[in-house]
């Protein structure tokens, strides 16, 4: 897509959003503008990652796409809205790391750990916001089991270390076999 086509598409999107606002179908509040911008940025980065063999842009693109969707569909205008806002932010970061872990071709255990950690934080905040989880009970659990996070992080770092070492050994044996032939 050349520059002229991108400009035309951008004008169509902006004009459509303004028209929807005129008919009171879509509210052009700051939150919705950020959500639409995030969605567009996410789609651009995902498109870039599909054409790149290294999948550059996959993590950022999936984050911005998920973040934009959550901004559009979650309402956080109340007093407790910050809890929901940060909950969806952490959940978006966690899900983006899971997508990167699954589809990047580079399986790093730390991306899976970040997914588990951020999804747990974000999911807990969202559950607390909707009254599905008692915050005081959660504090008691965290006080007792917080070292588990350190143990899991250590395990994931060791897994990555062994994977990298095995890849380096495989590359060295491939190089020596190529030299011998």
What pTM value is reported for the model? 0.73
Closest CA to 69 of 102, 91, 99: 91
The dihedral through the CA atoms of 128, 130, 131, 133 has a sign that is negative
pLDDT digits (tens, 9 = 90+) for 49-101: 888 877 888 999 999 999 999 988 876 665 557 788 888 999 999 999 999 88
| Helices and strands, number each (H, E), in the chain | 7, 0
Domain boundaries defined on the chain: 3-180
pLDDT digits (tens, 9 = 90+) for 90-146: 999 999 999 988 888 766 777 888 898 899 889 888 888 888 888 777 778 778 888
Give the up-direction half-sphere exposure of residue 8: CA atoms within 13 A in the CB hemisphere.
Answer: 5
């Amino acid at each position: 897509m050349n520059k002229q086509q991108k400009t035309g598409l951008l004008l169509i999107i902006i004009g459509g959003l303004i028209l929807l606002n005129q008919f009171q179908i879509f509210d052009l509040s700051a939150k919705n503008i950020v959500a639409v911008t995030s969605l567009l940025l996410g789609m651009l980065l995902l498109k870039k990652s599909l054409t790149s063999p290294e999948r550059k842009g996959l993590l950022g693109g999936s984050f911005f796409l998920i973040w934009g969707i959550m901004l559009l569909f979650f309402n956080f205008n109340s007093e407790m809205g910050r809890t929901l806002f940060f909950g969806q932010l952490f959940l978006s970061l966690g899900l983006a790391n899971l997508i990167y872990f699954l589809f990047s071709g580079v399986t790093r255990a730390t991306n899976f750990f970040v997914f588990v950690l951020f999804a747990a934080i974000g999911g807990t905040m969202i559950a607390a916001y909707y009254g599905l989880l008692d915050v005081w009970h959660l504090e008691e659990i965290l006080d007792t089991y917080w070292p588990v996070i350190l143990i899991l992080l250590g395990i994931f770092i060791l897994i990555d270390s062994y994977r990298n070492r095995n890849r380096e050994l495989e590359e060295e044996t491939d190089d020596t076999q190529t030299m011998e032939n």
